[in-house]
Structure 1
Amino acid sequence: MKILTFYLIMISALTAEPVKLWPGLAPGEKAARDEKVVKKGDGIKRISEVTQPTLEVYHAKKEKATGAAVLVCPGGGYNILAIDHEGTELCRWLSDNGITGVLLKYRVPRRKNQEKHEAPLQDAQRAMTMIRFNAKAWGIDPEKIGVMGFSAGGHLAATLMGDPRRDYPDEEKYKSVSSRPDFGILIYPAYLQKGKSNTELAPELNFTKDSQPVFIAVAKNDPYYPSSALLNTKLKELGASVETHVFETGGHGFGMATKRGSPEAKTWPDLCLQWMKKQGVLK
């Protein structure tokens, strides 16, 4: 019996119950649909048809808890979510390192007659607001809440960093709570450029000299590498805080680089932890 109890405790520590972001239908949604789950030969779990977005909280291990938290935004071109490869695995890694990981399952695929990021941004803003609102109960420092995004999720994270406006009806308890993250971690982000421009950022990105600190990791042989290079240049021109790591190889979509990517790309998690220490997020 004791062994079974211990086993159940360990399992519960590694899992998280989904919490709905919206009390009813999400803004603009007309009906809830069943999600679709697809696994291809690469073993990556992909989900689509998300109409009821959620967050899942992976609390930091008590003996290592730092008070920091990170909202994790998986990628997938705003059409699917690589929910484990760029989500669950990262939340567990964060938890192991004393950081509360919060997995965001945002709405996909792209909605007709909307910008690709419009509905996901609403979900990200609501998630960030909920994390900060519940910070005390969840053992989180409300001034140490960051966002991490991969590929399209990197674009979502970058957009969230610079857009404090909320274009949806807010519940009274959330109205005075900021949805602005305190730092951003962008891993092979996509869609940061204005169209095919190599000199202009996408108009939805609103960075200034006072923007939050940014960490970027990307491979040079990633087709979206120019996006990261441009953002790095623009942030430095503004005088904002940015640290960028460019790997010679690794391609796109390597996640934690345990199954794909390159040995060089596999170093980004440790580099990220070091950066968070330099920013004062971790001790």
Structure 2
Amino acid sequence: MTLHPATLGIGLLALVGSALPWTSARAFEEPPLKAAAVLDVWPGPAPGEVGKIEEEKFMDPPTSPVKRLGNVSHPTLTVYRPAPEKDTGAAVVICPGGGYYILAMDLEGDEVAAWLNSIGVTGIVLKYRVPRREGTPPEKKPIQPLMDVQRAVKLVRSKAAEWKIDPNRIGVLGFSAGGHLSAAASTRFDEPVYPQTDDVDKKQSARPDFAVLIYPGGMEDRNEADNPLLRVTSKTPPMFLAHAGDDKVSPLNSVSMYTALKQAGVPAELHVYATGGHGFGLRPSPNACSTWPKRCEEWMTAMKLLTPKS
């Protein structure tokens, strides 16, 4: 089954599926996921809201191989905890893709949390605001998702003691537009993009400790003022990147980010696979790109991100 494309930013294709016949099986869900908590990202109305958004809903029938959620105006965090005997203390905020128009909530959200749980990591799915709000210039990325992810990282860090996670091992992981968002979170953490009103905002850092970018888009135009590539510094967190060489969202997005990180002296690992297209998530396939979760686990182990707290 071929899934339908969505547009990312200014003319960049961001497919939420590839031309491969993916199954609906979830490779890492044993037993079925149960959320430990669902939190509102904001203590009150989300900042930066403009225009009118229709009612939140899934855009496809229940039989669709990908659950695409649209019209999100109420950002939340859904927390999935690993088994206590596996828990490493690390945590990851997951940013599903969808071109900043929808969110692929299962393929690039819940299923990713299940995989993270399998390696002892708390997976936290961020339901951020889509689609683009009125007034967003076509040459810019929407600011509301960046508000949501900055606040999400701070909120997770504020819960570290309660959730028994290490406040120094909180990462972000994103796919496609969510990969762009994770890159923005990793390069604009010292640039508050919303009013800082409570103790979570004032006392906690928005800097992720590491980032995983899977087929990210939106970074090819170096003339774009908010391109994350232009903000990479030695303070940017370490990154793992994976892309397919035949992706319509060019692998040069990942290659350029890797180059910028290396030039800044930031540890990084890049995998570009020959085939896989776009939107492969972590479902099994004949393509080598489906091995990226194992490579990422190896990277996280090498970076000592999976070493339990003593």
TM-score after normalising by structure 2: 0.81
- Report SS of the residue matched to 1:72: strand
CA distance in 2, matches of 1:211, 1:129: 16
Unaligned 5+ runs, structure 2: 1-29
Match of 1:253 among 279, 282, 288: 279
| Residue correspondence of structure 1 range 98-109 to structure 2 within 5 A | 98-109=120-131
Match of 1:29 among 42, 49, 54: 49
1:68 Cα deviation from its structure 2 partner: 0.2
CA distance in 2, matches of 1:245, 1:11: 30
Match of 1:141 in 2: 166
Match of 1:237 among 263, 279, 304: 263
Which residue type is aligned with residue 214 of structure 2?
Answer: I
- Report SS of the residue matched to 1:27: coil
Q: Any idea what the Cα deviations from partners look like across 1:130-177, whole Å, max 9, x if unmatched?
A: 100000101100000000000000000000001122232233211120
Match of 2:89 among 47, 67, 74: 67
Please identify runs of 4+ aligned residues in structure 1 that moved more than 4 A: 10-13, 30-33
Match of 2:304 among 275, 280, 283: 280
2:156 aligned with 1:131: yes
Match of 1:20 in 2: 40
Asked whether the equivalents of residues 25 and 32 of structure 1 are also in contact (C-alpha less than 8 Å), the reply is no
CA distance in 2, matches of 1:250, 1:138: 36
Asked whether the equivalents of residues 229 and 260 of structure 2 are also in contact (C-alpha less than 8 Å), the reply is no
Q: Percent identity?
A: 44
Match of 1:218 among 234, 238, 243: 243
Match of 1:271 in 2: 295
Which residue type is aligned with residue 271 of structure 2?
Answer: H
Change (3 A) 1:159 1:206: same
1:63 Cα deviation from its structure 2 partner: 0.7
Asked whether the equivalents of residues 78 and 110 of structure 1 are also in contact (C-alpha less than 8 Å), the reply is yes
Higher RCO (C-alpha under 8 Å, 6+ residues apart): 2
1:275 Cα deviation from its structure 2 partner: 0.2
Computed over aligned residues only, the root mean square deviation of the Cα atoms, in angstroms, reads 2.3
TM-score after normalising by structure 1: 0.88
CA distance in 1, matches of 2:167, 2:257: 27
CA distance in 2, matches of 1:226, 1:201: 17
Instruction: Name whichever structure is richer in helix by fraction.
Output: 1
Match of 1:189 in 2: 216
2:70 aligned with 1:48: yes
Change (3 A) 1:32 1:61: farther
2:102 aligned with 1:76: no
2:227 aligned with 1:202: yes
CA distance in 2, matches of 1:93, 1:203: 27
Which residue type is aligned with residue 41 of structure 2?
Answer: L
Change (3 A) 1:17 1:205: farther
Unaligned 5+ runs, structure 1: 1-9
Change (3 A) 1:34 1:17: farther
2:109 aligned with 1:87: yes
Change (3 A) 1:156 1:205: farther
Change (3 A) 1:25 1:32: farther
1:108 Cα deviation from its structure 2 partner: 0.1
